Amino acid sequence: MKLPAALALIITLIGIPAFADPGDKFFVELIGVAANTSKSSGGHSAIRIGGQVYQYQVARDKMLFLQRDPWTFFEHRYRKLDNRSLTLVRLDLSDEDAQRMHSRFIRLFVIQKKHVARWEALKIEKLWFDQLGSQRPAVPIPIVGCFDASRLNDAITQHLRTSAEKILGHDFIENGLKKVNATLQVNALTASRCGQNKIKIDAYPEVSEITAEQRLEQLSLREALIILKQGRAVSSALLIAPDDAPLSKHDRSQLKNLAQQIENSVSRLLNSSRPDRGEALLLATARYGALRQSLKQNRLLLLNVFPSKDKAITLFSAKETQRHRKLLTALSEQAGEIWNEERQRFMNAGQELTEYTYQRMENAAARYIEPRDAIRDGRALLSCSTVFLRPERDGDTTPLKLENFPPDKLVQAQQQSFHSYENFLANFRQSYGYSLFKHNCTTELADAIQSTFRNEQEIRASLGAVIDPQQGLTFIPARFTRKVQGRWKVKKTRTLPSYRLQRSAALITQSANPWIALRESNRLTSTVYPGSIHDDAFLFFSDGIPAWRPVQGASNLLFGLANVGTGLITSPLESGRLRMKRGINGMFYSLPEMFGISIRKGRYDILPRDPLDPP
């Protein structure tokens, strides 16, 4: 259900085409994704509503979260790179029901984000109370790490402050800081009281006297005001330069225009009442610093959107980076092409110049520089996510001196904060925790689809039947897809073959040579499958004619066994141990093939880019 770690990097590097609406805006299709090796061996389920795909994915801490992606991103990731066929079952829904279902998934997605935000805020609040008893209480919060606390009175940040004070008054920032400090002082020992009740995935978090989110916002706002007051500079360690090309006159004009937009937005944010203005101010100030530094140095500098090394995922060790140098070089070249395209997109944006186009450029730069520098420096290759990122480096808040609070009250607040966090986490895991049989990508999707309707009568009227994902083997994606085809109202069903099958079929159709099919059926002679660094030891692809699978499985089993024997003989060498591991994995996935079940499909590490815009 999840891609191997290295393939996650590939997704981030390859340009994925954006969705083009086919006209039927609210059509709904259930997507059944074929199985593959590793964590994909159970298959996968998702739902497509117009141009968006909603799916449940296992995330950090064994949580199962609803994820939303453009259709073309999903299709490229699963059908092409992961080489898995897709079964699309279009439901026969009225326009009204399709729109209701779309609204339902949007609501679930937004509510989930609120619950996750509370989880993160409660972690910070718990740390806040733990730190209050220390001499210099400080907690790490997002984006603060984008600034250098040792570099004060920076001319760029001071100019931003002066510009805002010309509009709002010379003492506006100072008075705002006093107000925030007073609020934090008053609520210093008031811990959030939440987590007692069960978390409902379709209900917003409960509201208490003061929430952890409110305290986090106050800390973020306080830090943003302090940074402006001190004139704290953006951290030069976080500024990345994709190239050293000097800025043209036009480039400088574009950067100045965006810097002016951000400068104006800072004044509006300072005077606004939006609940997240602290975080928005931190991000705007950091980007303003990067833009002005670019103009000062006459080269493009961007904030690194990847997290610090202690929070990043290591995709390849330093040794693996060198072993796969050829592949990573090719990926870096593709990432470089995307970087150049995003740079041109930004520089030629004209009236459409926004922070969004700038953020696209930030993401493209980071994903180009990371593999390039890992290859050049011979270090581990780091990444963090396949999603659209923004600069969020954590940094410690400026210590806040709190006055006149009794030690016993502090102990009570610490205990309350601890219980709120633990209770919330327990309920959070119960609602969002992953379970192979009871809470997986299929069971949650089935429940979410049917929860669009108020009762079983409405479900039967709109879908045709109620499907219990806990009944029998319905929790298995392939079984659920077959049940939907047989019991729900379906307009049509179509299959999108995997990338390898599609390419092989095209060659067989174009050529009259009967040996083409045999050539493309095995990994050694195939011209459409170059092999992957994740391949185990196997000879034949078994996702073709079912009658041949037992023979192919037996051949693959013997091939895997031969690799185990060879690897055992050469086990003193690292290559021998790797061969033995691949042989064991190959034998494991050959067993179901001998009984007519195809799991292994192979994967593509890299593919030619689609000539369309990335999302």
Q: What are phi and psi of 525, to 5 degrees?
A: -110, -5
Q: What are phi and psi of 66, to 5 degrees?
A: -75, 130
Using the Cα atoms of residue 246, residue 251, residue 257 and residue 261 in order, give the sign of their dihedral.
Answer: negative
CA separation for the pair 55, 447 (Å, rounded):
12
Tokens, residue 278: 């602290």
Distances (CA, A) of 424 to 65, 81, 351, 419, 589: 16, 38, 46, 8, 40
Position 24 pLDDT exceeds 60: no
Tokens, residue 438: 């009871």
Beta bridge partners of 141: 395
CB of 600 within 8 A of CB of 4? no
> 189: pLDDT confidence band, cut at 50, 70 and 90?
confident
Tokens, residue 114: 């609120």
DSSP string, 542-559: -SS-GGGHHHHHHHHHHH
Position 12 pLDDT exceeds 50: no
Residue 586 confidence (pLDDT) = 93
The pairs formed by 468-474 with CB atoms below 8 angstroms and a separation of 24 or more are 469/442, 469/443, 470/438, 470/443, 474/442, 474/443, 474/446
Residue 6 confidence (pLDDT) = 42
CA separation for the pair 500, 491 (Å, rounded):
28
> 25: pLDDT confidence band, cut at 50, 70 and 90?
low
Lowest mean pLDDT among 55-69, 107-121, 203-217: 203-217
Position 75 pLDDT exceeds 90: yes
Pairing mode, if any, of strands 381-383 and 44-49?
A: unpaired
> 309: pLDDT confidence band, cut at 50, 70 and 90?
confident
Residue 3 confidence (pLDDT) = 38
Lowest mean pLDDT among 10-19, 193-202, 470-479, 588-597: 10-19
Position 15 pLDDT exceeds 80: no
Beta bridge partners of 496: 86
Of 54, 19, 75, nearest in space to 495 by CA = 75
Position 73 pLDDT exceeds 50: yes
CA separation for the pair 487, 479 (Å, rounded):
12
CA separation for the pair 233, 326 (Å, rounded):
39
Position 1 pLDDT exceeds 50: no
**pLDDT tens sequence across 225-254:** 999 999 999 999 999 999 889 999 999 999
> 10: pLDDT confidence band, cut at 50, 70 and 90?
very low
Position 578 pLDDT exceeds 70: yes
> 5: pLDDT confidence band, cut at 50, 70 and 90?
very low
Position 59 pLDDT exceeds 60: yes
* Strand blocks (E) in 10-91: 28-33, 44-49, 52-58, 64-70, 86-91
- Domain ranges in the chain are 5-111+428-498, 500-594
Average pLDDT, the chain: 89
**pLDDT tens sequence across 440-498:** 999 999 999 999 999 999 999 999 999 999 998 999 999 999 999 999 999 999 999 99
Residue 386 confidence (pLDDT) = 57
Instruction: Over range 530-543, report the average pLDDT.
Output: 92
End-to-end alpha-carbon separation of the chain, Å? 22
Residue 606 confidence (pLDDT) = 85
Instruction: Over range 370-394, report the average pLDDT.
Output: 82
Residue 455 confidence (pLDDT) = 95
**pLDDT tens sequence across 403-431:** 767 888 888 888 999 998 999 999 999 99
Position 612 pLDDT exceeds 60: no
Position 607 pLDDT exceeds 90: no
CA separation for the pair 570, 499 (Å, rounded):
35
> 514: pLDDT confidence band, cut at 50, 70 and 90?
confident
CA separation for the pair 354, 257 (Å, rounded):
10
**pLDDT tens sequence across 265-308:** 999 999 998 888 999 999 999 999 999 999 999 999 999 998 88
Position 332 pLDDT exceeds 80: yes
